[in-house]
């Protein structure tokens, strides 16, 4: 092993860049490895991030990388960590290019895979007119006819939530809506239309949504569609390194379990951002990365001085 880093950060999205900034400012020898596939890259802009509201994600990540250039102990490398193991109280990570790096600490900030329903027309509009988070995208489609693809209790909550942005909201249950009578009444009094006809496809030019086509050929005019997503880990790396997944939440299937400083149960291994959270957002990822890095620096100092 030629060179051991103080910390390797896997992923340079909001969480990884934020962590690397704190680590660099604390003069930790830090390698950041990034495959360059941040989950929100397709979006027109970042909604709701103070100081950067509406900023195109690629521009935001470039600015974050530029800030790291001021810190000589941080190296940012394009690449992918394909495997890892714990060895001699530290970690060995294998890169896709065949190289191998070692570190005393590893911060996993590799984000999550957002999986949406398999309906024709969603993939090309994802992150634009089809979205999973009304706080991120609701403003951009405000006052247009909006749809919520969902059913049951979550469909009710999400349809009522979307009324914040439009008074023309349809719950597209894509089959039986599975609603309690109270909920039908709640939706009715909020002015939400319930449509149980199966959804065949979405239409509109490019990333724009103009309508959904229902199974009987009817078109329902829509300017935006809120869809349910489930987030899954992008790779088995956390598991390989011994980190445990917590219980599935309503949105995240297999988030890594961490404590309040984003440390996993494995000494020296932290996880921040979407990977270890139930409320994914850029702001939360920045906070998590920053706190995780502070925890890492404290743990290095504690170890060096025999503190428990």
Binding site for ligand FAD (CB under 6 A): 10-16, 33-40, 42-43, 46-49, 80-81, 109-111, 114, 126-127, 136, 234-235, 237, 273-275, 280-283, 285
Half-sphere exposure of 126 (CA within 13 A, CB side): 17
**Chain CA centroid to CA 145, Å:** 27
Q: Considering the complex, state which of residue 78 and residue 215 has its C-beta at the smaller distance from ligand FAD.
A: 78
Residues 6+ apart with CB under 8 A from 76: 12, 20, 32, 34, 65, 68
Helical axes 181-189 vs 152-162, angle rounded to 10°: 10
Q: Considering the complex, state which of residue 94 and residue 195 has its C-beta at the smaller distance from ligand FAD.
A: 94
What backbone phi and psi angles, to 5 degrees, belong to 233?
A: -60, 145
d(CA 238, CA 230): 18
Give the burial class of 79: count Cβ atoms within 10 A of its Cβ; 0-12 exposed, 13-18 middle, 19 or more buried. Answer: middle
Q: Considering the complex, state which of residue 46 and residue 119 has its C-beta at the smaller distance from ligand FAD.
A: 46
Tell me the closest approach of the beta carbon of residue 305 to ligand FAD, in angstroms.
Answer: 31
What backbone phi and psi angles, to 5 degrees, belong to 271?
A: -145, 130
CA-based diameter of the chain, in Å? 71
Tell me the closest approach of the beta carbon of residue 202 to ligand FAD, in angstroms.
Answer: 16
Tell me the closest approach of the beta carbon of residue 139 to ligand FAD, in angstroms.
Answer: 10
Tell me the closest approach of the beta carbon of residue 46 to ligand FAD, in angstroms.
Answer: 5
Q: Considering the complex, state which of residue 45 and residue 223 has its C-beta at the smaller distance from ligand FAD.
A: 45
CA–CA distances in Å: residue 107 to residues 18, 135, 275:
12, 28, 11
Tell me the closest approach of the beta carbon of residue 158 to ligand FAD, in angstroms.
Answer: 16
Tell me the closest approach of the beta carbon of residue 47 to ligand FAD, in angstroms.
Answer: 4
Q: Considering the complex, state which of residue 43 and residue 297 has its C-beta at the smaller distance from ligand FAD.
A: 43
Q: Considering the complex, state which of residue 166 and residue 287 has its C-beta at the smaller distance from ligand FAD.
A: 287
């Amino acid at each position: 092993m030629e060179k051991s880093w103080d910390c390797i950060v896997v992923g340079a999205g909001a969480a990884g860049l934020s962590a690397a900034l704190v680590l660099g400012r604390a003069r930790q020898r830090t390698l950041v490895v990034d495959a360059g596939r941040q989950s929100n890259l397709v979006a027109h802009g970042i909604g709701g991030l103070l100081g950067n509201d509406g900023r195109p994600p690629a521009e935001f990540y470039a600015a974050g990388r530029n800030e790291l250039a001021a810190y000589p102990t941080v190296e940012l490398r394009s690449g992918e960590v394909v495997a890892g193991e714990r060895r001699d109280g530290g970690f060995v990570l294998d890169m896709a290019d065949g190289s191998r790096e070692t570190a005393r600490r590893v911060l996993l900030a590799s984000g999550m895979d957002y999986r949406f329903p398999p309906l024709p027309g969603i993939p090309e509009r994802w992150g634009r007119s089809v979205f999973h988070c009304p706080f991120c995208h609701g403003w951009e489609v405000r006052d247009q006819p909006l749809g919520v693809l969902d059913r049951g209790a979550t469909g009710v909550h999400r349809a009522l939530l979307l009324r914040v942005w439009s008074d023309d909201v349809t719950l597209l249950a894509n089959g039986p809506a599975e609603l309690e009578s109270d909920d039908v009444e709640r939706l009715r009094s909020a002015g939400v239309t319930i449509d149980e006809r199966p959804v065949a496809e979405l239409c509109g030019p490019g990333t724009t949504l103009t309508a959904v086509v229902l199974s009987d050929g009817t078109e329902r005019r829509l300017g935006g569609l809120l869809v349910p997503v489930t987030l899954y880990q992008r790779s088995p790396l956390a598991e390989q390194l011994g980190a445990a997944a917590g219980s599935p939440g309503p949105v995240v299937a297999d988030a890594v379990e961490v404590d309040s400083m984003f440390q996993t149960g494995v000494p020296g291994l932290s996880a921040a951002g979407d990977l270890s959270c139930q409320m994914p957002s850029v702001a939360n990822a920045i906070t998590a990365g920053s706190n995780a890095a502070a925890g890492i620096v404290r743990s290095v100092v504690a170890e060096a001085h025999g503190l428990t």
